[in-house]
Amino acid sequence: MSAAETPESGLAVLVDSHAHLDAFPEAELRKLMARAGRVGVGAILAPGADLASSRLCVSLARRFRQRLHEGPPQVLAAVGVHPMFLSGPLDEDAIATMHSLLSKPGVVAVGEVGLDSTGPNPSLQMDALRAMLRLAREADLPVVLHSEGPVENMLSLIGQVGVAPRGAVVHYFTGDAATARRYIEAGLYISLSRTLVRRPRLQKVARELPLDRLLLETDTYPMPHRATEPAHVRQVAEKLAQVNGVTLEQVARQTTANFRRLFQGG
């Protein structure tokens, strides 16, 4: 299904660009996928958090290869090691495993990778991210970035190593407009999550950002007292449409086109 199409129900086609589907048991996963399909979610990107998680995401991409009519969304996968899951330096075996996984069908990115000021040793994080950015460049794939901490650290490392031509996305962005503009000026996309629905400050930021550099996500994962799921990406789209004074269809069409351009070269 292309970015310009809508399902038979008339719902706008949406993409959840970040959902940890691998963390859910089978019975719950089936329900999440069905509910997402019913509200017009056509595709979901499932990022890995470590090597085991990445393998599961690859298997989900193989299982949900395409969306048929109004069935479950297509799943695409990203492969990487989250900074909070680093237990030591990435050795040659880990890099080789990721390199192998990146060649599997449905794998479209390196991620979730990045920096977190509350995580393990900063130099360990920098070395790991540097290695995975190089891996992404070699594979000619975009990157899904976790960026919690000074923007200068992330932009400095990207400036040193670079990213593949299609670029990268800063996922779950909750910062200010100046920070968002610095990422965008560096050629990156910004992904907005369900926090947009409940934070007026972030709504003001979103109003200042170009729609052709934005993605939508839910950052779905099982957590006590948190009931976010891919179907809720529609709420994010509706709020973005409201704060920008445009239609849901315009937001869906543009953000889905952005997703296809970044992750599928479309």
Confidence of residue 162 (pLDDT cuts 50, 70, 90): very high
Rounded-to-integer distance, Cα 1 and Cα 256, Å: 11
Coil, helix or strand at residue 46: strand
What is the predicted pLDDT for the residue at 252?
97
CB of 52 closer than 8 Å to CB of 80: no
Listed range (2-16, 28-42, 176-190) with the worst mean pLDDT? 2-16
Average pLDDT of the residues in 101-120 = 96
Average pLDDT of the residues in 40-69 = 94
- Calculate what percentage of the chain has a pLDDT beyond 70: 94
- Give me the phi and psi of 82, to 5 degrees please: -65, 145
Structural domains for the chain: 14-264 (3.20.20.140)
Coil, helix or strand at residue 47: strand
pLDDT at 68 over 70: no
Confidence of residue 10 (pLDDT cuts 50, 70, 90): low
pLDDT at 171 over 60: yes
pTM: 0.94
pLDDT at 8 over 50: no
- Give me the phi and psi of 190, to 5 degrees please: -120, 130
What is the predicted pLDDT for the residue at 265?
81
Average pLDDT score over the chain: 93
Rounded-to-integer distance, Cα 141 and Cα 133, Å: 9
What is the predicted pLDDT for the residue at 11?
62
Burial (CB count <10 Å: 0-12, 13-18, 19+), residue 250: middle
Nearest Cα residue to 61 out of 21, 13, 23, 113:
21
What is the predicted pLDDT for the residue at 229?
98
- Calculate what percentage of the chain has a pLDDT beyond 90: 89
Coil, helix or strand at residue 190: strand
pLDDT at 1 over 90: no
For residue range 179-205, list pLDDT tens digits in order: 999 999 999 999 999 999 999 999 999
What is the predicted pLDDT for the residue at 4?
36
Confidence of residue 113 (pLDDT cuts 50, 70, 90): very high
What is the predicted pLDDT for the residue at 5?
44
Beta bridge partners of 88: none
